[in-house]
Amino acid sequence: MAGARLDRWLLHGFAAVVAAFLVLPLLAIVPAAFNGQNFLLLPPSVWSFRWWGVFFADASWRSSLATSLEVASLVTMLATGLGTAAALGLARLGGRLRALVLAVFVGPVVVPTIVLAVALYAMARSLGLVGTLLALVIAHAMLALPYAALNVGVSLRAVDPRLALAASGLGAGPWHVFRTVTLPLILPGIVGGAIFAFVTSFDEVVLSIFLAGPEVKTLPVRIWEEIRIELTPVVAVAATLMMALALAGWGLSRVVETRRAAGRRAG
């Protein structure tokens, strides 16, 4: 008993050390966003909202934030819809064909991003799409689609297929079965996939550097441009906003999953 307890404490301690190693450097950027001086300093000697005012007063920062939100929102809708359809289609396949199609979907995640960026840049340039919103949405959707499809697929595998068969046996059509039976059951997976798609698009920098332009520039690209010239706390403000949106998405997914689990227990 004592040995098992010691092993458990050691495991928890090791997990805490790993979590601290991964998370603390990210959290260190938050106090830097409230530094009142002209350079990054941890911990700040003077606390101030000065650089938050600089961020929101600068039209280029506001524009890049709005572009990132617009691109990520469009990518979320596109990737979630296509990912849900792909997951439903993959569930009907079997054996080697399913593995082959799944490999095609996962391909953009497996291939190095720089390779994908060069290929997409060449295609976008030939079509005159470099520096356009459409190019960014298509490129980001390619990265986000696998996450949406895989998340929905996990939820779909947990659905008892006899439920859909029972609804069909009672006279319900395919769309009615999907809307009233399948969709509510896979909703957590859809929400999770949508959040992954949004965060993937919002944080993407390599593809955005290749495909962005003067009029269409995402927040990560604007951060990259800023640190190449001068590293000021306004960069920490932008990074803090990005982390806050990612945490908000994670919190939303947890709320949906908690409510879904509570509903299953109540049922």
Is residue 266 scored above 60 in pLDDT?
no
Q: Hey, CA dihedral for 151, 189, 137, 220, is it positive or negative? A: negative
Average confidence (pLDDT) over 151-174: 76
When mean pLDDT is compared across 64-73, 180-189, 204-213, the lowest value belongs to: 180-189
CA distance 150 to 88: 11
Is residue 68 scored above 90 in pLDDT?
yes
Average confidence (pLDDT) over 150-176: 77
Q: Is the pTM of this model over 0.75?
A: yes
Is residue 54 scored above 80 in pLDDT?
yes
Radius of gyration, CA atoms only, the chain: 22
Residue 177: inside a domain, yes or no?
Answer: yes
Q: Which residue type is seen at 95?
A: G
Residue 259: inside a domain, yes or no?
Answer: no
CA distance 262 to 205: 38
The domain in which residue 188 lies consists of: 58-229
Provide the pLDDT for residue 69: 93
CATH number where 112 lies:
1.10.3720.10
**220: closest CA among 232, 237, 205, 198?**
205
CA distance 256 to 194: 12
CA distance 184 to 139: 30
Q: Which residue has the higher pLDDT, 36 or 263?
A: 36
Q: Count of domains in the chain?
A: 1
pLDDT band at residue 5, thresholds of 50, 70 and 90? low
pLDDT tens digits for range 123-143: 999 988 888 999 999 999 999
Estimate the crossing angle of helix 59-92 against helix 133-157, to 10 degrees.
40
Residue 10: inside a domain, yes or no?
Answer: no
Residue 25: inside a domain, yes or no?
Answer: no
Residue 238: inside a domain, yes or no?
Answer: no
Residue 92: inside a domain, yes or no?
Answer: yes
Residue 70: inside a domain, yes or no?
Answer: yes
Residue 17: inside a domain, yes or no?
Answer: no
